[in-house]
Amino acid sequence: MNRNPPLLPTVVYLLILGFSVCLTCSCSRESTSGSDETGDGFSDRIIVQLDWVAEPEHGGFYQAEALGFFEDEGLDVDLIQGGPNAFVHQKIATGQAQFGQSDSTNTLLAIAEGLPLINVAAVFQHDPSVLMLHEGNPISSFEELEGKTIMARPEWVFLAFLRQKYGIEFNVLPQNFGLAQFLADPGFIQQGFYIAEPFFIEREGITPKYLYAWDSGFDAYTVIIGNRDFVRRFPEVTRAFLRAYIRGYRSYLTEDPEPAHDIMLRINPKVSDEYLGYSRRMIISEELATGPNGNIDAIGWISRERFSTQIDQLEDLGILKKGAVSVDQVMSDHFLPH
């Protein structure tokens, strides 16, 4: 399924921010005596808010935790599982977490809303959100979606991009995060997360095929985002965090993944060994973390050009006000290992 949270209007953002700030201030007052904060205002503890429950897309984090890579950098890292209401952006913006995982599209829009966030690394070079079809469905191009019905999150920005680029119109059936209709109807089209749902579809004897969002030119990242103020105040901590994460991700993808999988199985009872293995293999075979050249050294890398293109696309769609954000405002690759 698409893990990306629905966009929230500005007033809702502000309400959540205000409430969260109150909670944060209250909690910090109550916990001052037990804090290990140093004189510069940094506690060795880093909180990472994930976008979904523990699955292979978070393999770099859990492998780094299991093998002690965060500890090697002198960091105490807490990984917080997410879900449909993870509120990753809001928690990072208010200091309830220092880092988190999200998608670059919604992060750009959140920054434009005024949230103090910054993209610091890539989890996936391509967001795995796709349109899923049955293998026997004759549709093979985006233009052929004209007049069709698609089950998807109505707020998914990619839908607006398709309408504009290809001059097509289609009906949108709100996503229910189930697969019953897809399994029952050979003509059904549904938004999915193609390192996840296909496992369950194939288990029912059905072979899916995909229309990949990036093939249309809409090429978002899955990203690690940080609190902008934290990142600026503690650049060496940020570098240490990303070193440990990328070390963990490389280990997860090229070595034994069991340390990470053992944690996932323990804290997320809905996954199985078979599912975890399948999803990891998809990440590797589709070169999601490394990019099309399969370069393991490219893990984490983010590109100014890609973010510039995304900003231009969102402005052209009228979703982002022209000039609302700049590339330097939304991303930095200065904290990545070189």
DSSP string, 245-259: HHHHHHHHHHS--HH
Q: What is the pLDDT of residue 4?
A: 54
Q: What is the pLDDT of residue 43?
A: 73
The lowest-confidence range among 12-26, 95-109, 117-131, 205-219 is 12-26
Look-up of token digits 């940020």: 238
Kindly report the pTM of this predicted structure.
Answer: 0.89
Q: What is the DSSP string of 80-112?
A: E---TT--HHHHHHTTS-SEEEEEHHHHHHHHH
Q: Regarding beta strands 76-80 and 208-212, do their DSSP bridges make them parallel or antiparallel, or are they unpaired? A: unpaired
Are 160 and 240 found together in one domain?
no
Domain that holds residue 232: 10-127+220-330
The stretch 114-122 carries a mean pLDDT of 99
CATH number at residue 44: 3.40.190.10
Structural domain includes residue 2 = no
Structural domain includes residue 245 = yes
Are 42 and 107 found together in one domain?
yes
Phi-psi region of 202 (alpha: psi -120 to 50; beta: other; left: phi over 0): alpha
Are 20 and 103 found together in one domain?
yes
Are 275 and 134 found together in one domain?
no
For residues 160 and 36, which has the higher predicted lDDT (pLDDT)? Answer: 160
Structural domain includes residue 1 = no
Are 190 and 89 found together in one domain?
no
Per the structure, the count of domains in the chain is 2
Are 46 and 34 found together in one domain?
yes
The stretch 44-69 carries a mean pLDDT of 97
In percent, how much of the chain has pLDDT > 90?
A: 84
Q: What is the pLDDT of residue 295?
A: 92
User: Structure tokens of 138?
Assistant: 């004759």
The stretch 206-232 carries a mean pLDDT of 98
- Whether pLDDT at 213 is above 90: yes
- Whether pLDDT at 3 is above 70: no
- Distance set, CA 186 to CA 38, 139, 145, 152, 198 (Å): 60, 12, 15, 17, 15
Are 109 and 248 found together in one domain?
yes
Q: What is the pLDDT of residue 15?
A: 52
pLDDT digits (tens, 9 = 90+) for 269-319: 999 999 999 999 999 999 999 998 889 999 999 999 999 999 999 999 999
Are 162 and 240 found together in one domain?
no
Q: How many Cα atoms within 13 Å fall on the side-chain side of residue 261? A: 17
Are 175 and 109 found together in one domain?
no
How far apart, in whole angstroms, are the C-alpha atoms of residue 58 and residue 50? Answer: 8
Answer whether 103's CB lies under 8 Å from 307's CB. Answer: no
Coil/strand/helix, residue 48: strand
3-state percent helix, strand, coil for the chain, nearest multiple of 5: 45, 15, 40
Mean pLDDT of the chain: 91
- Whether pLDDT at 20 is above 60: no
Question: Considering 193, 216, 239, which residue would you say is the last residue of a domain?
Answer: 216
- Whether pLDDT at 139 is above 90: yes
- Whether pLDDT at 75 is above 90: yes
pLDDT band at 26 (very low <50, low <70, confident <90, very high): very low
Structural domain includes residue 338 = no
- Distance set, CA 159 to CA 129, 139, 143, 173, 195 (Å): 12, 17, 12, 12, 20
Structural domain includes residue 144 = yes
